[in-house]
Amino acid sequence: MIEREAQVRGIVGTPAHLLALRKRKSAKIILRLRDWRDDTTPLFEPKSPMGAALRYMKNQWERLTVFLADASVPIHNNASEAALRIIAVDVSLCALSSSARNDERAIITRIATRATCAFATAA
């Protein structure tokens, strides 16, 4: 019922609505994640893989949670994942080629072209 009223008033889909939704649904989960991180960190050696991951999470916490304060920041990183997938596929296909230098040029060209196209369509 509240969502319907928000739709009628033209509130749904606005940055303010998105932030309210994120704060209502995501903030509690983020706080639980932070508490888990703080409780779990002492259980691992700092130089262990898990210790390094927890330290990274703590050091990047502000960046990892900025989506709660800025509606323009996506809650996911699908664009980054897609860009990395392009690199991974191109690199894996390069083993078939005979020239590493040509492979490198081809990868750089493909990445630059796709990045430019992605930027142009996003703008």
For residue 7, pLDDT beyond 70: no
Angle at 40 between CA 37 and CA 42, to 5 degrees: 115
Same domain, 97 and 47: no
- Specify the pTM: 0.56
User: Is residue 49 in some structural domain?
Assistant: yes
Per-residue model confidence as pLDDT tens digits over 53-91: 999 999 999 999 998 999 888 887 777 777 777 766 655
Claim to verify: residue 50 and residue 108 sit in the same structural domain: no
Res. 5: pLDDT tops 60: no
Pair (33, 90) in one structural domain: no
Could you tell me the maximum CA-CA distance found in the chain, to the nearest angstrom?
63
Instruction: For residue 57, give the nearest of 40, 69, 79, 81 by alpha carbon.
Output: 40
82 and 43: one domain? no
Give the domain extent around 6: 2-68
Q: What is the pLDDT of residue 39?
A: 97
Q: Does 73 fall in a domain?
A: no
The number of distinct structural domains making up the chain is: 2
